[in-house]
Amino acid sequence: MTMRMLWFCDMRFPFQPDGYWPGSGPAPYGTREVGLWAFIGVVCTLFALFGAAYLMRIGYEDWRLLPPVPWQLWLSTALLAAGDAAWLLAARPAARRRPRLAHRLGMLGWMLSAAFVASQLGAWGAMAAQRIVVTAGPAAGFFYMLTGLHIVHVAGGMLAAAWVLARRRPDDGLRFGESLALCARYWHALLLLWCAVFALLFGMTPELVREICTTLGIPAR
């Protein structure tokens, strides 16, 4: 009976390695960092599965390549890279007890991320103007699905970052700096994912996939 009660308490209130108990207050940096890494791992796995589906589908005869990259996508890539740099720079002055500068850089990173989303939507409009809509073919469907999924994760990060920026307190510079460091880490992942999606959509061709499969000894269509 005692062992059962101990097991129940352990399941009800899981103890964290850094001494944090859920419900006892704000989670420390180590706990939040582990949670972020776990979430990034799940997101990367999701994109990897969609990428594998893309590579398997590209070998079919009805596959039609996408048109040249619209300029809005090049712009959005630059905006996301600039936003990533802004979040990284924001974390540094926060660690040096300069919360005002950190807050301004964080706002810059947030606005650059909003501009990235707007540029992505502009790219959708440019593709639609060329009659590349969701139902235009498998390649078009994957384009909208992968870019849309990435936009959703950027928007989610923006919501979390807005909460961090809005809750800044002058007497809690350390925790603010830690939160900005986590934002920077998440934006690193977003930038790497976007580069992978960009290369997949506009760099992979059926011929290249067949050549890679042949080299690896994998049967290809």
Distance, in Å, from the CA atom of 13 to the CA atom of 6, rounded to the nearest integer, reads 10
Predicted confidence (pLDDT) per residue in 36-64, tens digit? 999 999 999 999 999 989 988 887 877 88
Domain residue ranges of the chain, discontinuous segments joined by +: 29-216
At the second CATH level, the architecture of 29-216 is Up-down Bundle (1.20)
Integer CA distances (angstroms), 137 to 61, 66, 121, 131, 175, in order: 12, 10, 19, 11, 48
Integer CA distances (angstroms), 184 to 56, 81, 124, 189, in order: 33, 11, 27, 9
pLDDT (0 to 100) of residue 50:
94
Examine the pLDDT at 120 and tell me if it is beyond 80: yes
Token pair, residue 18, equals 């850094």
User: Is residue 110 within 8 Å of 165, Cβ to Cβ?
Assistant: yes
pLDDT (0 to 100) of residue 11:
40
User: Is residue 66 within 8 Å of 142, Cβ to Cβ?
Assistant: no
Close Cβ partners of 55 (under 8 Å, ≥ 6 residues apart): 200, 204, 209
Close Cβ partners of 84 (under 8 Å, ≥ 6 residues apart): 109, 184, 187, 188, 190, 191
